[in-house]
Amino acid sequence: MTANQRPLLVLQPSVNTTTVVTTTTTTTTYAPIQLPPLPPPTSPKDPKNYPLLHANLPQSLRHFPLVFPGGARATFRDGEGGDEEMQEEQELASGSGWQMLRRDEEPANTGVVDLAEAVERYGKKRAHAGENLMEGIESTSGAHNNAAHPRKKARAAPLPQISTVNAAAPPSPLPSPHGSPPPENIWPSAPPSGASSPLPQPPLQPDLSLTTLLTLPSLLSHFTSLPPPLQSHFLLTLLRHSPLPVLRTLHSVLTPTLARDFLTLLPAELVSHILSFLPFSTLARASRVSRSWRAIIDSDPVLWRDLLKSTKIWFGGESENAFAASIYARRRAQTQTHLASGAPPIPQSLPLPHPYKILFKSRHLTRTRWVNNPEPKHISFPAHGTSVVTCLIFSHGRIISASDDHSIHVYSPITGELLRSLEGHQGGVWALAASKNTLVSGSTDRTVRIWNLETGKCTHVFGGHTSTVRCLSIVKPEMVDVEHNGVITKEEWPKRPLIVTGSRDHSLRVWTLPRAGEEEYNCFGEDEVEGDTADVDADDNPYHRLHLEGHDHAVRALAARGRILVSGSYDCTVRIWDIVTGHNKWILVGHTQKVYSVVLDPTRNQACSGSMDGTVRVWNLQTGQCQHTLTGHTSLVGLLGLSPSYLVSAAADSTLRIWDPDTGELRHTLAAHTGAITCFQHDEFKVLSGSDGNLKMWNVRDGTVVRDLLTGITGVWQVVFEGRWCVAASNNGDATVLDVWDFGNENDEDWVGEPPTGLYDEDGFSDDDADQIEGIEEDDEQEQADVDAMDQDLVPSESETLDNIEVDQDEDDRRVQRQGGGDGDEIDDRLLVDSDTESTGPAGGVAASRWAPSANAATSTVFTGASSSRSSRSDIATRTGGRPTRPRVAGDASRRGVVVPNTRPPPSLATQRTAPAVDEAVTIRSRARIPRRR
């Protein structure tokens, strides 16, 4: 309370009843009694020692009633806001030609008071004996008015006019501290009338309560001058004599004031350590105690990291850091979008939770909801008629499916509504990849198409492959280890997103992923009339970067991260490429039959491959050696999946096997299907696998069956899941059906799923990040400088032409067409069960590789030729040319590509023998510059 704020004693109006012939009730309103102000508190040296000095008192102590002797009633109001509340609540009296004024309010004019009117309102039958009796009454008319008394008896003589005194309220009924007349003299009797009436009484009789209020300032002054021990003794004596209601009121004031929030007072390290002993359910309740606790708990990364570890849902750090980076990138994008719209910044009452907290909730929900939700929401709807669903992905809340009916469909997982139908391919679509609102597709029509998922428009058509585009991947920028002069540093590669495609024409191609707004391109011309892709020169495409040649048979699978590209081929080999320079770093040889699947593990610096020979091989990317050969499957290993802790293989022998990617140890064999495994996906908690007739969910940690999601169907083509969503494409009778399950509850809206590949669209360069790059030309110049630095010993060779490569492919295509027709790939998956019985003669298997001695065999060591038996082959890796230089060719060689021979001998192994250099060749084509976005 400040010095200008004084406590008030608001008197209730007094009521006098006089009975003569009729009953007249007079109500008198009194001005509040201004009590003596309390002395202003002196500022203490240490405010912490006076916690109640500026504390807000409860309403019950700032506004309470008092009853005086004789029944008079009043209300005590504290000076803090009480006076204003009183003035707002008090109704001002008014009448014809007059009104009562507030204190501090000046009258509009200073006319003569109409006394008769005033007496009629405030003092009928009273005597007036002072000049200040009518303070607060304003006259609005200066005319003299002799109003007659309303009663029918003799009229009293009119009273003389008196001048008004500017005042805000009627006089106070209490004696003045400076010797004013006693109260009974202030309240005069009524004027004489025909009958006697009792004299008005004072509104209240002073008692101990009023005396205490009047002497409170002096009591406070005395108390503050006492020594602290005596103050304590005095207060304790008062408390001992206080009843329970008083003690309860004091307790309600003292308890919150004297309470101490230890979480806000202790150092952050101690707080984190204390909270680490609480289970997550207790932490969730503790975060609802107060805003400060919520902020402390939500923003503590160490707390949630330790909780992830203690509950065994921490998977090494790589996936966790990727998740955190995606959350931060998403928040930045949301903030930039909000500010770009011109809206003011959104105030944050609480700090945003750390990504580790969001990750813990998401993983906890993933672990519990998928198992404990007995009846998830489920919808089913037809898709693609009766055609096979060749590709299925779940991206940004959209289901994207591709089929061999040449179409791509986009569905809503909530309603099953067909949102988009992307038409344009002239053959079956066998490869899909999505990034934000961009979709990339590869088809048997030998083209690669780029789609805008928001509009459904095909913005780019890339040609160059001469056979089916069987696999593709979008490679996003990420931090990778790069060695310079023996020093390993972290660099971001590639500099912008790329597309890598693999084809049955034995080659791979690298393209730049177009950004939104960049120039559209159609390899067939602006009229978009489909032509023969054999007539398309990919070097005319400004987005084409590299043409990687070296495989001797169809490229069946690929995987890419950073600068590393792994490709698996029907030539029984796995190749490791640098997708920035196009350099073929390793040829990994060991499989004895076709390679159908590959995965890349950059965390462990290794790659895995599955083959028709029934084995899974784990390769070291640093040395090129085969670290583990995983055996157990008895048929084609057509599918591989990798998570931070598990490597899962699926084969045509109707089993899935779970391996330890570090040691190669077999952990579990999942054997409950009756037919070949046609699809599967897994994470750190579960495996979903499809086969003939059913779709099963397994516990990846103990290998047990959790539940059957689909039963009694013809076949399951594809299955994907992310977060709370699961989507399966199956064949039920003669119709293709999409089934969607939602394992979340209504309050799980913030359940953030982790993508199966561990790659997030928020990672790497967004469109806004790309605008900060000075230009695409600078990127190309930097990448060309990297090529120049790495390729110093490149020697062109004319010992091979592209015509040689096509011989084996054409022969293989004719063999497949005799079995099922078409381009060959349309029946790959449907022949999955029987494919392990295919011929391994000259058209396939090991014999597809062309090993023959050559004139320069002494300078390039590999192993035995094609006539050697499979059993004599050893698990070796051949290092391709060490430091090639920029190609030096003349004439038209730059458009046909330059064949780079191997000039550096591989590591010495007892089983190595000679082989021609042409089989380890890589073709690097020139790249035109991409036009700068305007």
Q: What is the pLDDT of residues 717-727, one digit of tens each?
A: 999 999 999 99
Is there a contact between 351 and 734 (Cβ–Cβ < 8 Å)?
Answer: no
Q: What is the pLDDT of residues 475-494, one digit of tens each?
A: 999 888 888 888 888 899 99
Residue-level pLDDT at 33: 79
Q: Which residues contact 871 (CB under 8 A, 6 or more apart)?
A: none
Whether 778 has a pLDDT exceeding 50, the answer reads no
Whether 233 has a pLDDT exceeding 50, the answer reads yes
CA distance 193 to 116: 15
Q: Which residues contact 929 (CB under 8 A, 6 or more apart)?
A: 542, 776, 777, 780
CA distance 158 to 856: 142
CA distance 393 to 721: 9
Phi/psi at 218 (5° precision): -70, -35
CA distance 152 to 348: 75
Q: How confident is the model at residue 50 (pLDDT cuts 50, 70, 90)?
A: confident
Q: Which residues contact 402 (CB under 8 A, 6 or more apart)?
A: 389, 390, 391, 392, 408, 409, 429, 430, 432, 441
Q: What is the pLDDT of residues 3-34, one digit of tens each?
A: 556 777 777 777 777 777 777 788 878 778 78
> Among 606-610, 744-748, 885-889, whose mean pLDDT is lowest?
885-889
Residue-level pLDDT at 278: 92
Q: Mean pLDDT across the stretch 664-684?
A: 95
Residue-level pLDDT at 617: 97
Tokens of 134: 């009518």
Q: How confident is the model at residue 378 (pLDDT cuts 50, 70, 90)?
A: very high
Is there a contact between 930 and 543 (Cβ–Cβ < 8 Å)?
Answer: yes
> Among 208-212, 444-448, 635-639, whose mean pLDDT is lowest?
208-212
CA distance 343 to 346: 8
Phi/psi at 147 (5° precision): -80, 135
CA distance 782 to 77: 79
Average pLDDT, the chain: 74
Q: Mean pLDDT across the stretch 114-125?
A: 54
Task: Name the helix (H) or strand (E) containing 285.
Answer: helix 280-286
Output the CA torsion sign for 191, 194, 199, 203. negative
Task: Name the helix (H) or strand (E) containing 819.
Answer: helix 802-819
Residue-level pLDDT at 337: 84
> Among 224-228, 359-363, 525-529, whose mean pLDDT is lowest?
525-529
Residue-level pLDDT at 594: 97
CA distance 49 to 451: 70
Q: Which residues contact 398 (CB under 8 A, 6 or more apart)?
A: 410, 411, 412, 413, 419, 453
Residue listed under structure tokens 């310079």: 484
Q: How confident is the model at residue 586 (pLDDT cuts 50, 70, 90)?
A: very high
Residue-level pLDDT at 128: 41
Q: Mean pLDDT across the stretch 577-591?
A: 95
Q: What is the pLDDT of residues 287-313, one digit of tens each?
A: 999 999 999 999 999 999 999 999 999
CA distance 26 to 93: 14
Tokens of 649: 């293989």
Task: Look up the pTM and report it.
Answer: 0.64
Q: Mean pLDDT across the stretch 616-638?
A: 96
Q: What is the pLDDT of residues 304-349, one digit of tens each?
A: 999 999 999 999 888 999 999 999 988 888 888 888 888 887 777 7
Higher pLDDT, 911 or 468: 468
Residue-level pLDDT at 122: 57
CA distance 845 to 831: 16
Q: Which residues pair with 481 in a beta bridge?
A: 490
Q: Which residues contact 457 (CB under 8 A, 6 or more apart)?
A: 451
Residue-level pLDDT at 376: 93
Is there a contact between 921 and 862 (Cβ–Cβ < 8 Å)?
Answer: no
